[in-house]
Amino acid sequence: MTKLSVNINKIATLRNARGANNPNVVKVALDAERFGAEGITVHPRPDERHIRFQDVLDLAGVVSTEFNIEGYPDKRFMEIIKTVKPAQATLVPDPPDAITSNTGWDTIKHREMLKDIVAELHEYGTRVSIFINPETKYFEPAKDTGTDRVELYTEPYASNFHKDKVAAVAPYVEVSLLAKELGLGLNAGHDLDLHNLKFLKESIPFLEEVSIGHALVCDALYYGLENTIQMYRRQLEV
């Protein structure tokens, strides 16, 4: 069964627009769990334009499903993980000013750096996932870092899904089989939605987790949060 982790960054963006505490990020996270989310994901950025560092601390005390913290592994991020000790830390190669994640790690170029970071995160008892492009050359170096999982960067799949879904998913199927052969757990995320999620799961049935935020929150404006989470869960029940 593939777990659905709900990324609540956009909830924090909405709250920050007015400067008060509505919507309440912690309450939304707890409600998302109650509505069927099997994990909560946050990506705290240095400028705190959505999730704030205090949010991470507040959530750590109440999230009862898997807590996944994404980010670039700078000193600030590593201190957050050391303090919070979430179930999972997902490493992304974002520069501080990035609007959203837009590529995976070059695990060949950054293998030694990632190896040291993964080892430190394991000392905190945290599972590690590395954000990665669907290119086979990056997977054996990823395995060499000691990471537990990789998270497939699925924006290219989502962008090409409506043109030719079989062609769009083909490189993901190829690398997922390689990941399985190497003993790497497999997550996926970025631009997954109610249109393309089911086919991805059908094509890669052993996906362990998907992290979805932007599309899910947009759908919740029309369908309501509880109903939307259940709709996404049903796409994974194939």
Catalogue the active-site residues. 43, 70, 190
Tokens of 233: 């869960």
First to last CA, the chain: 9
